[in-house]
Amino acid sequence: MAYDQHRLSRAPRSDINVSFEFFPPNSPQMEQNLWEAIDRLSPLNPSFVSVTYGAGGSTRERTHITVSRIVNETHLKPAAHLTCVAASQEDVNDVARAYWQAGVRHIVALRGDPQGGVGTHYTPHPQGYATSTDLIKGLKSIADFEITVSAYPEKHPESASFEQDFDALKAKIDAGATRAITQFFFENSHYLRFLERAHKHGISIPIVPGIVPVQNFKQTSGFAKKTGASVPQWLADRFEGLDDDHATRRLIAATVAAEQVLDLLDHGIKDFHFYTMNKADLVYAICHLLGLRPTEHHQKKSS
């Protein structure tokens, strides 16, 4: 039997790009966890770090505080999430102007989940942006933000077809988006097939895979069902019987995520976006496997 000795994941690499997603803390302990994660991951020199924005703008103030601290206290490039759910255009524009004034030049522009939760009907605010495409146009009229948007390898839960998804993505690109980050997935075939389809539709912007290291299988699988991401049986089998075995569960989680990213690397993928859940260890280990090493670039700005 012949074995392939030329796997890309086993060759020295200097062209890997990573980005990390965090969420704003809502308690002193969570704030400590967040900044410990940022301190741990920042020496890996990510392309950017993003900070999420709660449903209906529920974390608006905390998101702004977190992003502002990243601008003022670190050398990282922050991307602030911004949605148009339950807010007027003027309210959204005020947030965007505040971000620009704070030094933020990159926005992750999302429509946002319906106020009733995933799976319920989405109703735009009467004076708000109706779609993420409208939001992007509004942001571009305010300032020359870099715009990242979402993509769905297994189709958006509200879309009737992939054709509808690709039409929506092309409209966002025409409005000014220059990068897409995918919903997380566990079967790489979903993502690779989505890339092929996107290219056939004339979509050429980077479509970066969103990777979620499974810190808690039950929690992750529950979230996946709400967002339309499938959870394969083989993944459930790997975590079976480990609910009360935290140490082994972490080892399995690291193995599963490493297997996924190394396979993507073997398929020529070199950009990765990690949903960190404000925890650094698993993400740091996976980045190490990708060939990333800490630089002498310090996280804290000198005073």
Residues belonging to the active site: 21
Q: What is the DSSP letter of 74?
A: B
Sign of torsion over alpha carbons 35, 36, 37, 38: positive
DSSP state of 106: E
Q: Give the H/E segment covering residue 279.
A: none
What's the token pair of residue 115?
């106020």
* CA dihedral sign, ordered 119, 120, 124, 125: negative
| Residue 167 phi, psi (nearest 5) | -60, -40
Using a 10 angstrom Cβ sphere, with 0-12 exposed, 13-18 middle and 19 or more buried, the burial of residue 111 is buried
236: nearest Cα among 258, 189, 272, 222: 222
DSSP per-residue letters across 24-48: --SSHHHHHHHHHHHHHHGGG--SE
Residue 291, both tokens? 């060939």
CB atoms within 10 A of CB 120: 11
Return the bridge partners of 130, or none: none
Side-chain-side CA neighbours of 223 within 13 Å: the count stands at 14
Beta strands in the chain (DSSP E): 17-22, 48-51, 78-83, 106-110, 146-151, 179-182, 207-208, 210-211, 271-275
* Element (DSSP H or E) covering residue 55: none
